[in-house]
Amino acid sequence: IVTFLGLHQYVSEFSSINSWQIVTKQSRSLTLNLHNKNGQRGLKILGTLTVHAEETVASRNAVEITFRCSHLDNKDLFFGSYLFLSFYSFQDPFLRISRIVESGGAVPICKTEVVNNNLNPIWKPVCLTMQQFGSKDNPLVIECFDFNSNGNHVLIGKLQKSVADLEKLQKEKIGANFIFPSSRNRAHDKVLKGQLFVDGFCEKKLYSFLDYISSGFELNFMVAVDFTASNGNPRNPDSLHYIDPTGRLNAYQGRVTMDAIMEVGEVIQFYDSDRRFPAWGFGGRTYDGSISHCFNLNGGASGFEVEGIEGIMAAYGSALRNVALAGPTLFGQVINTAVEIAGRSLSQDSSKYFVLLIITDGVLTDLQETKDALVMASDLPLSILIVGVGGADFKQMEILDADNGHRLESSTGRIATRDIVQFVPMRDVHGEFLLNLIYYFKVYRIFWFRLKLPYQIVAIVSGALNDTAAKKYDLEGWFPASSTYRELVSCSNCTDYQSRRLEIRYG
């Protein structure tokens, strides 16, 4: 099935194929017709998809390359003037790197980010693995495009170099001229003034998550829960912390948050030797009458750790009956406490990585202090997952997430070494199956992806489904102790056909 990335919108599909159908071809390529869902009735060809097979050698070798260009041709045109002032649009260049395969075609393997309005761009370093480029002598096609939001990117120029050639450019500190291909033949290609430079070239080895685990590496899980008054009085049914006399779970205990705690914590605990987790609350009036922005969820005066995931849920239930909701919403102290733990572990040369889960409903009142704490934490073995519950404005959380490509900056001007925050707003994931699916994969894949944990997404074949599901997807993680993939979470939906058998309403 071919989908749009991000929203996974259905575009088209083709019938299943086997690898032998590709590798037995002389060209090792197979072109398939993409069609709609209508089957044989009203079958419509929507395009083609070419699949190419190539044997690769397993390798952990990789190269990190920093590219820049100078004197690029400006493909954008003059677009306006006002009060004797002229306005010009400069191009927004990016690079696309492709590998030339045995059949002679070029297969894209890497793309840089877009640098806006710049004829002399410098891109962030890109990492190419040996499995991508094959060997240092294999030819690569490097194309420079002017980005257009409609997808019709304009070619500025291209050139062909191997990884060895790129290393030579870096050592000799020289550039390579782009060419603009002629529509007639290669003899008429135009050599351009614009040049490609390699400012950085570094060879390195890539290590997998299992490499770290086998060498004694551990994961440690920490959680912090919002006890500010903006959650609402726990005795009010509208409160996110509502204590239901019937025992029904509230917004913090329910599917959204409990799943986040259970799924992240349950997997991490297999890589934690003592399975004891620090658990805090913040923004509440504690047992001694003072407002605390980092108190032990279990009520203990000194020990903040609880036993396993069940201990976290039990400590939350106890705190809800003994801690009064207050405020304001401050993250700084909780993050600094996690930073202290991670920093102490690092100073002791301990092989541990920490994951802090913050569950909150409100608007921060210490945004800059939180930024300062996160910038400090970016050098430590720590990642933070923020889960937003309720209907508050979470724009500040999106700032902390820094998914726009701009790393956080502290009050002293220091830039974060890396992005360590992932924010997930729960209000965006209720309702349609597709949105729920995105939510599941975003929450449950976050630390598997960030920490390079092996995982796979399995689409269950229709013949294996019962009458309660029309589609089903499983997210499976690799468990080294049993040397197998195990199901972490399963998503399914039903249509009118299944709803009649489940005796539920469909619409």
Predicted confidence band at 7 (pLDDT cuts at 50, 70, 90)? Answer: very low
DSSP string, 132-153: HH-STTSEEEEEEEE--TTS-P
Locus of tokens 């939001």: 149
CA distance 291 to 278: 20
Q: Across residues 400-420, what is the average pLDDT?
A: 86
Q: Where are the domains of the chain?
A: 2-52, 61-205, 216-432
CB 160 within 8 A of CB 140: yes
Q: Which two tokens stand for residue 130?
A: 């040996």
Among 494, 184, 251, 185, which Cα is nearest to 391's? 251
Report the relative pairing of strands 126-129 and 61-70 from DSSP bridges.
Answer: antiparallel
Give the chain's mean pLDDT.
78
| pLDDT greater than 60 at residue 348 | yes
pLDDT of 74 over the 60 cut: yes
pLDDT recorded at residue 341: 94
What span, in angstroms and rounded, lies between the C-alpha atoms of 164 and 305?
A: 52
Rounded to 5 degrees, φ, ψ at 339 are -60, -40
d(CA 294, CA 279): 9
* Residue with the larger pLDDT of the pair 384 and 486: 384
> Rounded to two decimals, what is the model's pTM?
0.57
pLDDT band at 380 (very low <50, low <70, confident <90, very high): very high
Structure tokens, 482 = 């049993």
Q: Is the confidence at residue 458, as pLDDT, over 90?
A: no
pLDDT per residue over 314-339, tens digit each? 898 888 888 888 989 999 999 999 99
Is the CB of residue 411 less than 8 Å from the CB of residue 371? yes
CATH 3.20.20.70 at 216-432, yes or no = no
Identify the CATH number of the domain defined by range 61-205.
2.60.40.150
Please check whether residue 14 is in contact with residue 46, taking contact to mean a CB–CB distance below 8 angstroms: no
Query: If you average pLDDT over residues 274-281, what whole number do you get?
Result: 90
Q: HEC string of 303-333?
A: CCEEEHHHHHHHHHHHHHHHCEEECCCCCHH
- Give the best-scoring range by mean pLDDT among 3-12, 307-316, 366-375: 366-375
Higher pLDDT, 124 or 387: 124
Calpha distance 122→95 (Å, rounded): 11
Strand order in the sheet with 484-493: 455-459, 471-479, 484-493
Please give the Cα distance from 322 to 284 (Å, whole number).
10
DSSP string, 442-475: HHHHHHHHHTT--EEEEEPPGGG--TT-SEEEEE
User: Whats the size of the chain, residue-wise?
Assistant: 507
Average pLDDT over residues 311-315: 88
| Residue of 261, 244, 450 whose CA lies nearest to 357 | 261
Omega before 121 cis (within 30°)? no
- The rounded percent of the chain whose pLDDT value lies above 90 is 30
The beta-strand segments (E) located in 263-402 are 276-282, 284-285, 291-292, 295-296, 305-307, 324-325, 352-360, 382-388
Residue with tokens 């699916």: 437
* Nearby residues of 76 by Cβ (< 8 Å), 6 or more positions away: 88, 89, 90, 91, 146
Helix, strand, coil percentages (3-state) for the chain, rounded to 5, are: 25, 35, 40
Sorting pLDDT into bands at 50, 70 and 90, what band is 54? low
Please give the pLDDT value at position 41: 53
Whether the per-residue pLDDT at 412 is higher than 80: the answer is: yes
Least confident segment among 5-19, 29-43, 157-171, 241-255: 5-19
**92: nearest Cα among 116, 71, 111, 75:** 116
- Assign 414 to helix, strand or coil: coil
| Residues paired with residue 80 on neighbouring β-strands, in sequence order | 87
Q: Which amino acid is at 146?
A: D
Q: Give the number of other CB atoms < 10 A from CB of residue 395.
A: 8
Task: State the Cα–Cα distance between residues 222 and 265, nearest whole angstrom.
Answer: 8
pLDDT higher than threshold 50 for residue 4: no
Asked if residues 33 and 67 have their Cβ atoms less than 8 Å apart, the reply is no
What is the spatial distance between Cα 459 and Cα 469, in angstroms, rounded to a whole number? Answer: 12
User: What band does 5 get if pLDDT is binned at 50, 70 and 90?
Assistant: very low
Q: Which residue has the higher pLDDT, 41 or 394?
A: 394
* Distance between CA atoms of residues 222 and 337, nearest Å: 11
Q: Are 345 and 352 in contact (CB under 8 A)?
A: yes
Res. 452 pLDDT band, cuts 50 70 90: low
Q: CA-CA distance, 92 to 441, in Å (whole number)? A: 32
Q: Which 8-state DSSP code applies to residue 405?
A: S
- What region, left, alpha or beta, does residue 405 occupy, with left being phi > 0 and alpha being psi -120 to 50 degrees? left
Mean pLDDT of 261-269: 67
